[in-house]
Structure 1
Amino acid sequence: MEYCLGDPDGSATMWTADPTTDVNSDGVLDAVALDLDDDGLLDDALADLDVDGLADHGVLDFGGDGPVYVTDDGTGTWAVSADRAAALRWLGLDGVAHPAGDATVDLDGDGQARERLVDSDGDGLADRAFGVGAAWADTDGDGHWDVHLVDTDGDGAADSADTL
């Protein structure tokens, strides 16, 4: 699993580690235990819950009562409460409104709910969506998807962008 953490000097370091911890109690090792909150305990973790090889959730105090799940806000910052992400409303690519529900949806209609929704402006309506090799953005805040980005070679960088 790969994950990225900021360094005190403002730079960032990419890390690769085999999962050593099961944070969602499904019997599968899905996370790397770390001390993210600097309390001296290895009770936090970065987890790959969508099994794509990249950390997608931070979990604080997973061994205690009431762990806190956070997810990437789309900028590489672990800042969005996963509870809030699961309460997002969103519009399909056809413009049909969907009520709040799971933060992982089938936005592209391929029959697999693998796109992760993000609300970067905090208004309760998804304005970013990230899938395997694709992303969508609502660039003007009207609730409709404006741009579709595609990573055709799998290097993590968009190779094309289409206006919707």
Structure 2
Amino acid sequence: MDYCLADGDGSATMWTAPLDIDVDGDGTLDGVGLDVDGDGSVDDALADFDGDGMADHAVLDGTSYFTDDGTGTWAVSVDRGGQLRWFGLDGVEQFGGPMVDLDGDGQAGERLVDIDSDGLADRALGDGVAYADTDGDGTWDLRLTDSDKDGRADAANGLS
């Protein structure tokens, strides 16, 4: 199974390891035991439940389950069924995700990310635009625009 982990310096390393544990308890090896949370104990796991050869679930200390939200971040707690609480640009609270229509254009083109795993979306990533809740109050504070699509923000605008 392949998986990618941050190196702590802003870079990341791709790893390949043989399946060595049965995470979902069905009698078939589907995961790799690791120390993901850095507590010094190999009591965590990355698992491939969809069978594509890439890790799609993380289990910390055998009790906290997370899925990859599509951005390579273990941000969606499984106990929420992949649903996040989020606020539209109009301030109306909603539940859903990870793909939503944040900007109200009629297309679910923004991917919600819950950086601190509290169930409330902190980031929303769209095509050439990103939104951030910088103070954790649930409202979007900053809009970043990448007009030349080079992966770097060209403009940042505060939202009220």
Q: Tell me how far 1:72 sits from its aligned partner.
A: 5.7
Q: Is the 8 A contact 1:135 1:149 kept in 2?
A: yes
Q: Deviations over 1:25-68 (max 9, x none)?
A: xxxxxxxxx84xx1269x89xxxxxxxxxxxxx9724239xx73
2:131, 2:150 → 1: CA distance? 17
- CA-based RMSD of the aligned residues comes to 3.4
1:39 has 2:37 as partner: no
Selected match of 1:62 from 50, 53, 62? 50
Matches within 5 A, 1:94-133: 94-98=90-94, 100-133=95-128
- Per the alignment, residue 78 of structure 1 pairs with 73
Distance 1:80 1:39, change over 3 A: farther
Q: Tell me how far 1:116 sits from its aligned partner.
A: 0.6
Aligned-pair identity (%): 49
Number of aligned residue pairs: give it: 120
Q: Tell me how far 1:111 sits from its aligned partner.
A: 1.1
- Per the alignment, residue 36 of structure 2 pairs with none
Q: Is the 8 A contact 1:92 1:107 kept in 2?
A: yes
Q: TM-score, normalised by structure 1?
A: 0.59
1:134, 1:59 → 2: CA distance? 31
1:87 has 2:83 as partner: yes
Opposite residue 39 of structure 1, the aligned amino acid is P
1:9, 1:92 → 2: CA distance? 33
Aligned to 2:125, what secondary structure does the other structure show? Answer: strand
Aligned to 2:91, what secondary structure does the other structure show? Answer: coil
2:104, 2:47 → 1: CA distance? 30
Q: Is the 8 A contact 2:123 2:130 kept in 1?
A: yes
Q: Is the 8 A contact 2:85 2:93 kept in 1?
A: yes
Q: Is the 8 A contact 1:71 1:82 kept in 2?
A: no
Q: Deviations over 1:53-105 (max 9, x none)?
A: xxxxx9724239xx7341367xxx5322474582211111111111x223110
- Per the alignment, residue 51 of structure 1 pairs with none
Opposite residue 71 of structure 1, the aligned amino acid is D
Aligned to 1:142, what secondary structure does the other structure show? Answer: coil
Aligned to 1:89, what secondary structure does the other structure show? Answer: strand
Distance 1:79 1:93, change over 3 A: same
Larger radius of gyration: 2
